[in-house]
Amino acid sequence: MYQYNEIDQKIVDERVAQFRKQTQRFLSGELSADEFRPLRLRNGLYIQTHAPMLRVAGPYGLLNSKQVRMLAHIARKYDKGYCHFTTRQNIQYNWPKLEEVPDILEELASVQMHAIQTSGACMRNTTSDHLAGVCVDEIEDPRPYCEIIRQWTTLHPEFDYLPRKFKIAVSGSQRDRAATQFHDIGIHIVKNETGDIGFRILVGGGLGRTPVIGQVIKPYLEQQHLLSYLEAILRIYNLFGRRDNKYKARIKILVRETGLEKFNDMVEAEWLRIKDGMELSAERVAAVKTHFTPPPYEANTDQDTRFAEQLANDKAFATWHKYNTAPHKVAGYQAVYLSLKAPDTPPGDMTDQQLDAVADLADRYSFGEIRVTHRQNLVFSDVKQGDLFALWQQLDSLKLAMPNIGTATDMICCPGLDFCSLANAGSIGVAKEINDALDDMDYLHDIGELKINMSGCMNGCAHQSVGHIGILGVDKKGVEWYQITLGGSSENEAAIGERLGPAVAKDQVTNTITTILDVYVKQRLEDEAFLDMVNRVGIAPFKDRVYANN
Amino acid sequence: MQIIKDNQIIDNSWHYVNEADTPSAGDISVSLAHWEKDKAQLLQHTGKLGVRLVPGDAVDTLAQDLNNIQLIELDFPDLADGRLFSLAWLLRSRYGYQGELRATGNYVAEQVFYLSRVGVNAFVPQKPDDLAAIQACLGDFSVNYQASIN
């Protein structure tokens, strides 16, 4: 993974000093709360229901074991012994003290981490495929381009005060695991007819209050023009994006109100004026690629025979293997998911002990690297098949081996009303109730692939509008209600879920979900996944059953 | 009033004036609308001329007049309006403006490093006490990831 050079280190160190100064100016009254807000937000610091919340960047989801140990240390020293992994591959702390945040940032900088631009109306952490570089369907590894974009977006002087937040995601595979169609800019690595690597650029996607699927603005962009093209889009957005209404300020609204064709003309005209001055050199790309060379894989690891025996002899291991591993491009290696969706923990949360143990396991089994997924789990990307059994046993003892990846209890869930000042309704408690109702693993596995996403408010941090089942908490006269949607997807066949009907009361959410699943089990065709059935029959059969008694 | 220009504290000689109250001499700056309306008359003015831009202003029509302008002010209605950063970049990079480019209004010292990178070289403090903070913040970073004006 990318290792900082002197310049990278200097930037994060100077950022810490800058934020320390800003915090002092605020605490001494030289900066008002309104003036300090955009500054602290650009360092990931929100003021939340109970305490500030600090969001730390996980650059395109990559962490090393040393960094994970630092996350554990921070959880212990400055927080309540845990942290939370987010859908944008970042890490959140819910209980830091404002005056200690500069110290936290200084500790992070010592392991090449930061919280730069993890919130606020600026360019955010670039996200990507958690299986980058190891998956079998990859056109090219997206990580070097993510790093190039990370550097370009970091402390960009012209685009730090945008109309609204701005998110970029990059996918290098056939299958989109980074929800690129729901980002302000989605970048797909593609090959043209002559075999050259370039980019398909999508613009104007987004979730939140107005979910929109991104549209292709550039079917093929030559590699050397990546940054000039991004700059052209950002300049048009910065100049013309709406600033009169924060709910209409995302680039998706500018694209919609301008029309894609005209917006495209504006970007193209801007791009043509700047592109020749800022080409990405082949040398630069090659230099960044040297940070992402494959680890020293051992030969003949696929000759290991114990693995097949273990699979045959241990049903629990075989089940875990079926759900919580992914194929690897190197024979004898596999990628392993660490489920952060154990029944009794809030989705995406980890304790300091778990973090330390995971760092040790990563060193032992996966070249010291840990990845954060878009669905709030972790991945060890390079595990020998002969090590899987031992790794599984240790993950199991850490409660990180719940065989539920991609199933109904692998829910995406925001912190909700319990922590977030924006939320209208609780989410963690509801997630737990659904989890408890689906505790029969055979039933869960029979249901199969199912993505349930639940957000505690319209801001949609947990991407409910693209959940196969989406649950959205709303406030009606001080009472928590939940809107259910069906048929959303953030993958290749992107879709926004359709409202099932009137919102349901909090104590009816779990019933509603189990009723929906019951309809699915009864009416599905052989091997038909939940989303496929919804696409085939529509929402009517589900609606009829859910609202049958009303 | 004192301001920062090219990293030095200097006395300000400019006055922003409106249409009804334009003096016949002195260094004055006017709104873009005023400039466009009374350009011929303003060019007869004894003293230097400047234009004050606000975030919604387009600078492409002003581009042809840049040789007659010694000051462009970027007037921040609030610190979060980032359009002025792009206007600064356009003036310096696309239209080759060489004169003084000055930030004024409701920005904070913490933004002057970025402003200096997009070509702003003078800063009017919100309050006199901010002069030191502005000078200090101009040195917030010693390295950059991306090209801009500076």
Determine the CATH number of domain A301-397: 3.90.480.20
Chain B residues inside the 8 Å CB shell of A161: 79-82, 85, 111
pTM of the model: 0.96
Tokens in use for A364? Answer: 């032992």
Contact A152 B113 (CB under 8 A): no
From the list A19, A70, A145, A41, the residue with the least C-alpha distance to A356 is A70
Chain B residues inside the 8 Å CB shell of A157: 85, 113-115, 117-118, 144, 146, 148
For A425, phi and psi rounded to 5 degrees? -150, 160
Contact B108 A39 (CB under 8 A): yes
Inter-CA distances, A335 with A55, A369, A411, B5, B116, Å: 27, 11, 20, 57, 46
C-alpha to C-alpha distance for A190 and A196, rounded to whole angstroms: 8
Chain A residues inside the 8 Å CB shell of B86: 158, 235, 238-239
Chain A residues inside the 8 Å CB shell of B141: 11, 14-15, 18, 155
Contact yes or no for B73/B102 (Cβ under 8 A): yes
C-alpha to C-alpha distance for A416 and A434, rounded to whole angstroms: 15
Least Cα separation, residue B121 to chain A (angstroms): 14
Dihedral over Cα of A501, A543, A496, A445: its sign: positive
For A478, phi and psi rounded to 5 degrees? 80, 0
**Per-residue pLDDT at B114:** 98
**Parallel, antiparallel or unpaired: strands A52-56 and A45-47:** antiparallel
**Per-residue pLDDT at A50:** 65
Least Cα separation, residue A16 to chain B (angstroms): 10
Q: 3-class SS at A361?
A: helix
Report the length, in residues, of chain A.
550
Contact B118 A158 (CB under 8 A): yes
**Per-residue pLDDT at B61:** 87
**Per-residue pLDDT at B46:** 92
**DSSP secondary-structure letter at A53?**
E
ipTM score of complex? 0.97
Tokens in use for A172? Answer: 């290098």
Nearest chain A residue to B55 by CA: give it: A239
**Domain-wise residue ranges, chain A:** 6-109, 127-289, 301-397, 412-546
**Would you give the distance in Å from CA A134 to the centre of its chain?**
18
Strand segments, DSSP code E, in A409-449 are: 412-413
Least Cα separation, residue B75 to chain A (angstroms): 15
Dihedral over Cα of B140, B145, B149, B150: its sign: positive
Least Cα separation, residue B125 to chain A (angstroms): 13
Contact A10 B143 (CB under 8 A): yes
Contact yes or no for A15/A105 (Cβ under 8 A): yes
- Quick count: other Cβ atoms within 10 Å of Cβ A141? 21
**CA atoms lying within 13 Å on the CB side of residue A500:** 30
Least Cα separation, residue B34 to chain A (angstroms): 22
**DSSP secondary-structure letter at A163?**
S
Inter-CA distances, A469 with A346, A433, B1, B65, Å: 19, 16, 62, 59
Residue from the list A7, A39, A157 with its beta carbon closest to the beta carbon of B110: A39
Residue from the list B89, B114, B141 with its beta carbon closest to the beta carbon of A160: B114
**Per-residue pLDDT at A517:** 97
From the list A240, A231, A267, A265, the residue with the least C-alpha distance to B56 is A240
Which of A161, A162, A288 best tests the B interface by mutation, with the highest count of B CBs <10 A?
A: A161
**Per-residue pLDDT at A550:** 63
Least Cα separation, residue A14 to chain B (angstroms): 6
According to DSSP, the residues that pair with A185 across neighbouring strands are: A168, A203
Contact yes or no for B114/A157 (Cβ under 8 A): yes
Chain B residues inside the 8 Å CB shell of A273: 94
Name every residue whose Cβ is closer than 8 Å to that of residue B94 and which is 6 or more positions away in sequence. Answer: A273, B63
C-alpha to C-alpha distance for A481 and A502, rounded to whole angstroms: 10
Query: A226-240 vs A260-274: helix axis angle to the nearest 10?
Result: 120
A127-289 domain in CATH 3.30.1360.170?
no
Q: Which fold has domain A412-546?
A: Sulfite Reductase Hemoprotein; domain 1 (3.30.413)
Name every residue whose Cβ is closer than 8 Å to that of residue A198 and which is 6 or more positions away in sequence. Answer: A189, A190, A191, A192, A220, A221, A222, A223
- Quick count: other Cβ atoms within 10 Å of Cβ A246? 11
Which residues of chain A have a pLDDT value below 70?
A: 48-50, 550
**Domain-wise residue ranges, chain B:** 2-137
C-alpha to C-alpha distance for B30 and A311, rounded to whole angstroms: 79
Contact yes or no for A471/A483 (Cβ under 8 A): yes
Sequence letter at residue A326? A
Contact A11 B108 (CB under 8 A): no
Which residues of B fall below an 8 Å CB-CB distance to A?
55, 79-83, 85-87, 89, 94, 108, 110-111, 113-115, 117-118, 129, 133, 136-137, 140-148
For A514, phi and psi rounded to 5 degrees? -70, -30
Chain A residues inside the 8 Å CB shell of B119: none
Which residues of A fall below an 8 Å CB-CB distance to B?
7, 10-11, 14-15, 17-18, 21-22, 25, 30-31, 35, 38-39, 121, 151-152, 154-163, 227, 235, 238-239, 243, 273, 278
C-alpha to C-alpha distance for B122 and B83, rounded to whole angstroms: 18
C-alpha to C-alpha distance for A10 and A538, rounded to whole angstroms: 55
Chain B residues inside the 8 Å CB shell of A158: 82, 85-86, 89, 114, 117-118, 148
Contact yes or no for A457/A538 (Cβ under 8 A): no
Burial class (CB in 10 A: 0-12, 13-18, 19+), A464: buried
Nearest chain A residue to B127 by CA: give it: A30
Residue from the list A21, A157, A238 with its beta carbon closest to the beta carbon of B83: A238
C-alpha to C-alpha distance for A138 and A172, rounded to whole angstroms: 6
Contact yes or no for A403/A338 (Cβ under 8 A): no
Contact yes or no for A58/A129 (Cβ under 8 A): no
Give the mean pLDDT of B74-93: 97
**DSSP secondary-structure letter at A400?**
-
Architecture of the A6-109 domain = Alpha-Beta Complex (3.90)
C-alpha to C-alpha distance for A352 and A378, rounded to whole angstroms: 15
C-alpha to C-alpha distance for B129 and A197, rounded to whole angstroms: 54
C-alpha to C-alpha distance for B120 and B150, rounded to whole angstroms: 9
Contact yes or no for A104/A20 (Cβ under 8 A): no
Sequence letter at residue A534? V
Contact yes or no for A515/A545 (Cβ under 8 A): yes
Q: Which CATH class is domain B2-137?
A: alpha beta
Contact yes or no for A462/A472 (Cβ under 8 A): no
Residue from the list B55, B86, B137 with its beta carbon closest to the beta carbon of A158: B86
Counted across chains A and B, CB pairs separated by less than 8 A come out at 90
